[in-house]
Chain A
């Protein structure tokens, strides 16, 4: 197994801690007066996104996580697995529903996603920053009300629920920021 010494630490490096893959967010060196050096790192768990802090003795080594981030196109899902394709090799990859998590509600097909692959298994899927989706359910629109600032819930074709302005109607195409889950604007086409 490849290992990294603390002197090779830098943000973005993928390492294994307690059997889970992490990426280094911040690497600080701590050297109390006249004392030995330590590396204090903030790391993000690539499976669940949680950030933890960890201290290591400088000079210690830690296993590398065989993690790759690739751009894959989303094809379809069968309820338990989500299928993605490499658009150059046409190779298909299936991701268990757990690794897709909340991301699934922004995907309807053909989106290019960033898929994190660890030991040949997809562990995380990041959707494009913006999705254009059709409204399937919402209260009747208040035509012309573009100024009052009120919102109402709307259900989108993928099952996602977002807060939208009052003038939105069923069948409208909406541009959504997938990072915040917020409505951005109406869209003409996908």
Chain B
């Protein structure tokens, strides 16, 4: 933790604390908030500080970072806790590529000695399932999933983000343990979340994930700053939520008004601190065993 603070202090990134209890729930289709009821009103424990940090960026505070607890209502596992520590930061004027370098520098200053490689979604899909994730039809994706022993029902066959995620889980992810630290880049536009779309052939999303020894450690975007575009992202999210039988979420007005007041071009990334600790410890124990 002190290495993280030292790094950002040196980089002149401001540390902030934003509210843990929020007025709006997340719209993301696969994340659920813990809900708190008080005086007849619902409040939500944050699943990330994204909305608050963007409001600060809109106010003109410059580069910011926050490290603190976030909460997600989901099944726990060795790598999923209901409460975990998230480090999230924003860099003004950076695109996602510069931000990846930033992430790498931070990890090195925390003692990581990984070899970092970059792989696009396309490369990994071609290598492991033989399909182009940008161009393959839903039917082709479904067929590939069925080959891995999963069933695909009618509503899932229309849910392209589900099909891509599912095929990634069954076909690609099991192979990632052997890659060490990789930045997964150029996401299909259906998996853009809140990242900008690039103007390459596939309109791929300017989003990245850092996966170390098969564990997702960080997720970053070249951020959407156009309020209308962001609203469309939220609407797509809500459609997906309804399709999957979840309640639609109210649009986060604070987020939208932050964008309307003008957020400068920036990139932001969220990193799971416990997971980083975990992969660093694994690396250290490996070094130890090499010495012995």
Chain A positions near chain B (C-beta within 8 angstroms): 7, 28-38, 40, 53-58
Neighbour of A38 across the interface among B74, B169, B219, CB < 8 A: B169
Q: Say which size band chain B's interface belongs to.
A: 20 to 34
Q: Cβ of A33 and Cβ of B77 under 8 Å apart?
A: no
Query: Number of residue pairs across A and B with beta carbons under 8 Å?
Result: 57
| The stretch of B13-21, B100-108, B160-168 that contacts the partner chain | B160-168
Instruction: State which residues 136-185 of B face A: CB under 8 Å.
Output: 148-150, 161-162, 165-166, 168-170, 173-174
Neighbour of B30 across the interface among A30, A35, A40, CB < 8 A: A35
C-alpha gap A34/B162 in the complex (Å): 10
Q: Which A residues are in CB contact (< 8 Å) with B173?
A: 30, 32
Q: Which B residues are in CB contact (< 8 Å) with A28?
A: 77-78
Q: Cβ of B166 and Cβ of A33 under 8 Å apart?
A: no
C-alpha gap A28/B80 in the complex (Å): 10
Q: Which A residues are in CB contact (< 8 Å) with B174?
A: 40, 53
Q: Cβ of A32 and Cβ of B77 under 8 Å apart?
A: no
Given contacts A32-B173, A36-B162, 6 further A-B contacts (CB under 8 A): A29-B80, A31-B30, A31-B80, A35-B30, A35-B161, A35-B191
Q: Closest CB-CB distance, A16 to chain B, in whole Å?
A: 14
Q: Cβ of B165 and Cβ of A36 under 8 Å apart?
A: yes
Q: Which B residues are in CB contact (< 8 Å) with A57?
A: 150, 166
Tell me whether B67 is interfacial, beta carbon within 8 Å. Answer: no
Q: Cβ of B148 and Cβ of A55 under 8 Å apart?
A: yes
C-alpha gap A134/B216 in the complex (Å): 57
Q: Which A residues are in CB contact (< 8 Å) with B219?
A: 33-34
Q: Which B residues are in CB contact (< 8 Å) with A29?
A: 75, 77, 79-80
C-alpha gap A36/B160 in the complex (Å): 12
Q: Cβ of B30 and Cβ of A36 under 8 Å apart?
A: yes
Q: Which B residues are in CB contact (< 8 Å) with A53?
A: 174
Q: Closest CB-CB distance, B209 to chain A, in whole Å?
A: 5
